[in-house]
């Protein structure tokens, strides 16, 4: 029992953050005691600074080839995944609200996970350098691709003019700059960086819990979250699990045509089927900050919050089987 609780502790803390937001929304909402407008930005900066410190860039050159593996991952991250989500949303578009639909579309175009895909690839005896290169490339590309697609969609749907240049400037400051600074810090003081990376493991998860708490607190304060209801949330969970299972099956099936080794197929699988909450959540909150009157942040991150624990459970099952062979 204790082992299972520890394994899924991050998911449990996310749920606790949501519960506290429902019970005490005034603290995490705009103008509250926690000052979410400032502390969220600081938290996002720290997440990517710590990722920069921990990222083993020396492994990137080892994982560059084969190029078709990385093309396969990007194709699934940003093209096939959205097509599948769109096909599943069409018959049920009338039973979920617009915010949840935007949430599923955002989930569909988010990059792959960084740490999870690499860890599960390693545990499953996959090709770790390939996983590192694919995850880094996918996440760097997302900083340009995701805001462009989302802002274009919101502009068309709401007939609003939302400039991209201020958003890109903010994302550079919050994501790219701390990542580069962390890498520079790693190269200049490798021993201190290794110590910091070891001591701050899991710190980014606490920041994510805080961001989720503030998003739900604001939604509760505005009264929007109460309108969703448990039946709607249950529908979202079912659809999320269906997307995960369908995507996972199709990714593994289609990877056979790449003529890769078993180790490379395993890395391609985890990098193609997973979605990053560490990069996705800061991207979503930063983008929606430029369109506050259009959407409700809490509703939009619900699909991502449901997909994240589901993908970890599935990856844990598969990595246990593949790793033991």
The model's pLDDT over 58-74, given as tens digits with 9 standing for 90+, comes to: 777 788 889 999 999 99
Q: Does residue 2 lie in a domain region?
A: no
Q: Does residue 70 lie in a domain region?
A: yes
Angle at 183 between CA 180 and CA 184, to 5 degrees: 85
Expressed as residue numbers, the domain containing 296 is 16-320
What local confidence, expressed as pLDDT, does residue 1 receive?
Answer: 54
Cis ω before 66 (30° cut-off from 0)? yes
Query: What are residue 161's phi and psi, to 5 degrees?
Result: -100, 110
**How many domains does one find in the chain?**
1
Query: What CATH number should be reported for the domain holding residue 265?
Result: 1.20.1530.20
Element (H, E) at 273: helix 262-273
Q: Does residue 4 lie in a domain region?
A: no
Angle at 126 between CA 125 and CA 128, to 5 degrees: 110
Q: Does residue 182 lie in a domain region?
A: yes
How far is the CA of 60 from the CAs of 66, 72, 134, 140, 235, in angstroms? 12, 17, 9, 13, 40
Q: Does residue 7 lie in a domain region?
A: no
Q: Does residue 11 lie in a domain region?
A: no
Q: Does residue 135 lie in a domain region?
A: yes
In order along its 325 residues, the chain shows pLDDT tens digits of 556 556 667 778 888 888 888 787 777 676 666 666 678 888 889 888 988 888 777 777 788 889 999 999 999 999 999 999 999 998 877 778 888 888 999 999 999 988 889 889 999 999 999 999 999 999 999 999 999 888 888 777 666 677 778 888 888 998 889 989 998 998 888 888 888 888 888 787 888 888 887 878 777 776 666 666 778 888 888 999 999 999 999 999 999 999 999 999 999 999 999 999 989 988 888 888 877 666 677 788 889 988 998 998 899 889 888 877 6
């Amino acid at each position: 029992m204790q082992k299972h609780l520890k394994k899924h502790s991050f998911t449990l803390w996310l749920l606790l953050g949501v519960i506290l937001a429902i019970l005490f929304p005034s603290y995490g909402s705009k103008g509250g005691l926690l000052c979410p407008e400032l502390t969220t930005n600081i938290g996002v900066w720290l997440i990517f600074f710590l990722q920069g410190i921990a990222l083993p860039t020396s492994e990137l050159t080892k994982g560059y080839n084969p190029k078709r593996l990385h093309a396969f991952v990007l194709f699934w991250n940003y093209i096939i995944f959205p097509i599948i989500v769109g096909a599943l949303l069409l018959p049920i578009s009338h039973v979920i609200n617009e915010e949840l639909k935007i949430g599923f579309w955002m989930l569909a175009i988010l990059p792959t996970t960084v740490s999870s895909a690499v860890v599960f690839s390693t545990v499953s005896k996959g090709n770790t350098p390939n996983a590192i290169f694919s995850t880094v490339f996918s996440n760097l590309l997302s900083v340009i691709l995701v805001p462009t697609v989302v802002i274009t969609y919101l502009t068309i749907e709401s007939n609003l003019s939302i400039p991209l240049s201020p958003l890109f400037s903010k994302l550079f400051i919050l994501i790219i700059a701390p990542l580069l600074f962390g890498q520079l810090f790693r190269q200049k003081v490798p021993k201190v960086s290794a110590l910091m990376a070891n001591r701050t493991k899991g710190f980014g998860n606490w920041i994510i819990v805080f961001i989720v708490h503030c998003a739900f607190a604001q939604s509760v304060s505005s009264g929007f979250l109460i309108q969703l209801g448990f039946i709607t949330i249950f529908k979202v969970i079912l659809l999320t699990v269906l997307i995960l299972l369908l995507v996972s099956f199709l990714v593994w099936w289609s990877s056979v045509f790449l003529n890769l080794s078993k180790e490379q197929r395993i890395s391609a699988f985890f990098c193609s089927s997973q979605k990053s909450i560490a990069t996705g959540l800061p991207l979503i909150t930063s983008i929606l900050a430029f369109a506050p009157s259009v959407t409700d942040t809490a509703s939009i991150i619900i699909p991502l919050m449901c997909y994240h624990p589901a993908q970890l459970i599935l990856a844990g099952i598969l990595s246990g089987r593949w790793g033991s062979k």
